Every structure is written in structure tokens, then in C-alpha cells.
A and B are shown apart, each in its own frame.
Chain A
Amino acid sequence: MLRVEQLSAYYGLFQALFEVDLRVDEGECMALIGANGAGKSTLLRSLVGAVKVSADSVQFDGEAVGGASERKQLKRGITLVPEGRRLFPSLSVRENIELAQRHGRPGRWDTELLFQELPALAEVQNRPATALSGGQQQLVAISRALVTNPRLLLCDEVSLGLSPYAVDEVYRLLNMARQDGMSVVLVEQNVQRALAEADRFYCVQKGRVVLDGVAAEADHHAVANAYFGV
């Protein structure tokens, strides 16, 4: 469904990604692995239109969609859970989720369904979103993405800094979404976890894809080398 071809991305004169090629198939979970500063976030942000790239470098259902606005990508069904959660502090939990729902696609996921699945969030729905614990905030951030009913969900470091219990909660929610056939891209510091959750993986190093393969067959030594750039 998603095909990235020769994608290069820049911040001003600085080139962060160099001719990246990759694909995500319908219903699949893909893990993006790489050290800090490798360009993982930049890649995800390029897919949703927050970093401008050439039209041909991002193809969604065979259509060249690179460089389109965030709103257009959202309508096509590409949604990002940004690094660091980025909840709106002036909005309550409910307002954070409803705002996204109003601008997203219609579908099964909505605020009420999420509160049903996550009763702990329902209890604090009227509190400012950033007043919650890190784990709950992350669940809000993912909920905010799910209610746009994406076909491709991009998750940037969704388990960073969370307790093991909170990490499991996050993945429980993601797996619920995957059961609906949603495709997922995972950027994850915990390489073991990423490979355990994903079908396929790509390793990114200094803006280039250096290794890819089927997650279950991944040679952990090779992945570690790709990760640390040995």
C-alpha cells in the first residue's frame, strides 16, 4: 500500500535522508530501527507531509502523494503518533481526542469506543491531557491517532520512558487496531520488542536504509551492527 522510492529529505541545507527505499504492505507491521539521529522521525514526518519531499518519493496505493499537506495525508489514511506525544496541554483528554476525530476519517474508531476499551482514560477524560501519567498520555496520543481511522498508523517511539506495564498497555491498544487490518509502522528504541511485534523491519543509519528483512528471521548480530553503525 505504501511505497517509498528514492526519498531524500532536507532541513534547509542539511540532508537528513538519502534516497530511502522501502514499502509497507496492507495489514502489515513494519519496524524502523536505528540509532538516535538516524532519520527515523524525519522519515515518518515526510510520510505525513510535515517534512516536504518530492511527490514521487511517496506512493500510497500507487498514487504519488509526497509533499502533500498533513490534512490531505490524514484524509488518505496516513496518521502519525508524534515523538514525545505532543498532547495539547490546554485541551482535556476528551477534547484532544475529539479534535482529531472531527478532522479525521469516518470509521469504527471513535472517542466512545476508546473510552470503552480504556476505562482508565474515561475516568480522567475531563482533566488536562498533560496532567496524566506518561503511560496514560501515550494512550491518549495513540487514541488521538486511532480516531482519525487511519489505514497506515505511524508510531514514533510510543514506548519511550514508560513502565513495562504501560508499554504492554500501549501494545495491547496497537494490536487491537491491527486486528482491524490497520497497517502499522513502529519506531522503537527497544529493538527486541520491535522485532517481536513486527512482520518486517528496516534498519536506518545516518539517513540511509542499511538492512531490511523479515522480523522473525532477523539476525540480531547484523541488526546490532546496523544499529550501532559498526
Chain B
Amino acid sequence: MLSLLETLINGLLLGALYALFGIGLSLSLGVMRMINIAHGDLIVLGAYLSSVIVLNTDLDPLSSLLIVIPMMFVIGWLLQKLLFNRVMGRDPLSPLLLTFGLSIVIQNLLQELFSADTRSLPAGDLALQGIELGGVNIGVLPLISAGISVLAFLFVAHLINRSPIGSAVRAVADDQETARLVGVNDRRLFAYMAGFVLVTVAVASVLYGMRTPFSPTAGPERLIYSFEAVVLGGLGNLWGTFFGGLIIGVAQLLGARIDTGLGPFFGHLVFLVVLIARPEGLFKAGRA
């Protein structure tokens, strides 16, 4: 019983991290109406950037974020400015094809630079530390990750629902053409959003890299987890993405109890079942 509770809690903590993967995807889908197929590869790219910094300086992975975050922001901003803005607003297929190409380019680039070997980010003592709560053992690192994820969601929700930038973002999501009529600079907004999306990606990638090894081809798997969280929660629903992530995390760890290899499969299974039962996702789309 206690071990089931432990699995549940660990599932939630893992799921919070998947939710953090999904936050960026949720924003680009909900606001820019664009699916970035390279999302997972950018997560892996973030982990490699951190790894390079950790190997060449005496920063640990978490402090490497001080450098990785601004780098990823610039990469996101540039990608949007130079590539994505060119194909947006046409047919939905163009961004799909473009980011699919980008995904392949990033994978090959990482393979060229870092070989196909798996790596992980050294978590140091953090990986071993745990706290005991009524007989249930909870890792400190997953706890920190989940805390950061919750903070990220609170921050984004506040930004979208309460700030002037947020009302411009919601206006563009509602009706891009009319948003332009009232003077919103949609392309500049998209560029900053893409930068911000990669900031969340940077944080998620380092936290995940500290607990799960990665290789240049690990991107698609991460894309799938993010995508599942977003779709499960209902497109365009920010907190839906959060709970979608939690569900995938719990499903994976419960599945892994049955058979260690079956974890991700159970995540997909839950995703599939929910999608058949409620094609629009668990939560109502709309207000973030």
C-alpha cells in the first residue's frame, strides 16, 4: 500500500516535469497555432548545452542554467524571427514540415558534435538525497523539479491572465487579424514568446537530464510526452497541460510497477483511451 502511495507521488513529481515540457508546446499551439515538431530535440539541445558547460567550467547543472537560459532564449527568438515567422499564417502544413526538418537537423548536428553515446547531467548529492514522510521516501531532486514546474505554471498563468502582454497574447490567440488591427505587433510577440518557450525548455531539459540519460535521438520521445500532456489537458488550456502531465507521469510509473519496460507504454495507453473517450481533452479549452 505504502509503496503504491510512493509510486503515485513519484508519478506526480515526474508528471510535473512532463508538464514543464508541455508548457511551451501548449503556448505555441494555443497562441501561435503552430506545432513545433522539434520541441523534443530542443529539449535535448538544452541538455547538451548544459552538459558542455558543466564539463568545461566548475558550474553544476543547475547553475549552468544561468548561461543556458539566455542562450536558449536567443535561439528561440532567432528561430521564430528567421524561420517560423516566414511560414506562419499560411497553411498549417508548412510549420509542420519546417519544424520536422529542423528536428532532423538538430539530431544530426548533435550526433556530429557529441556522437551517438548517451550522457547524463551529474546531479551530485542531490540525486541521492531523499526525505522520508510517514514511511514514504521522496527524492529531493524530483521534489525541486516539481516545485519549479508549479512555479513556472503559476508565473505563466499570471502573465497571460493578468499582464498587458498577456492580453495581447490572448488577443492574438483569439483573432490574429483583429489583433493586428488594434496595433499588436504579432511577429515581434511571437519572437519573444518563442524565446520564452525555450527558457521553459531549458529549465525542463536540465532538470530532466539530471535524472534521465539523453542522446541525440532522444528528442522525439520527449516531444511525445509533451504532446500527450498538452492534448490530454485540452488544447489551449494551460492548467489542463499541467494536469495532463501529471496523469502521464503517474500512468508511466504505475505501468513500470507491472513491468519496468512498460512505463511509457502505459502513458501512451492512458493518452489513447482518454483521447477516444474525450477527443477535446480532459479540460475545457479556452482561457489559459
Residues of A participating in the B interface, judged by any CB pair closer than 8 Å: 48, 50, 69-71, 74-75, 80, 82, 86, 88-91, 95, 98-100, 102-104, 144, 148
Contacts and interface: CB of A to CB of B under 8 A. Distances in A.
A89 B174 contact: yes
Contact of B181 (A50, A75, A98): A50
Interface residues of B, number: 19
Contacts of A74: 181-183
Q: Which of A70, A89, A98 has the most CB of B within 10 A?
A: A70
Contacts of A48: 181
B278 interface: no
Given A88-B170, A88-B174, A91-B170, 6 more contacts: A80-B181, A86-B178, A91-B171, A99-B182, A99-B184, A102-B183
A100 B182 contact: yes
A90 B180 contact: no
Contacts of A89: 174
A88 B180 contact: no
Given A90-B286, A99-B168, A70 B181 contact: yes
A70 B187 CA distance: 13
Contacts of A103: 182-184
B188 to A, nearest CB: 10
A106 to B, nearest CB: 13
B58 interface: no
Contact of B178 (A82, A95, A102): A82
Contact of B167 (A95, A104, A144): A95
B63 interface: no
B259 interface: no
B173 interface: yes
A48 B178 CA distance: 11
Contacts of B184: 99, 103
B185 A71 contact: yes
Contacts of A102: 164, 183
B287 interface: yes
Interface string B153-193: 00000000000100110110111011111111100000000
A104 B183 contact: yes
Given A90-B286, A90-B287, A70 B171 contact: no
Contacts of B173: 90
A50 B180 contact: yes
A70 B178 CA distance: 10
B183 A100 contact: yes
B183 A88 contact: no
A91 B174 contact: yes
A99 B171 contact: yes
A226 to B, nearest CB: 29
Nearest to A97: B182
A144 B175 CA distance: 15
A100 B181 CA distance: 9
16 contacts: A48-B181, A69-B180, A71-B180, A71-B185, A74-B182, A86-B175, A86-B178, A88-B175, A90-B286, A95-B167, A98-B164, A98-B167, A99-B184, A103-B184, A104-B183, A148-B182
Contact of B183 (A70, A82, A86, A90): A70
Contacts of A88: 170-171, 174-175, 178-179
Nearest to B287: A90
A97 to B, nearest CB: 10
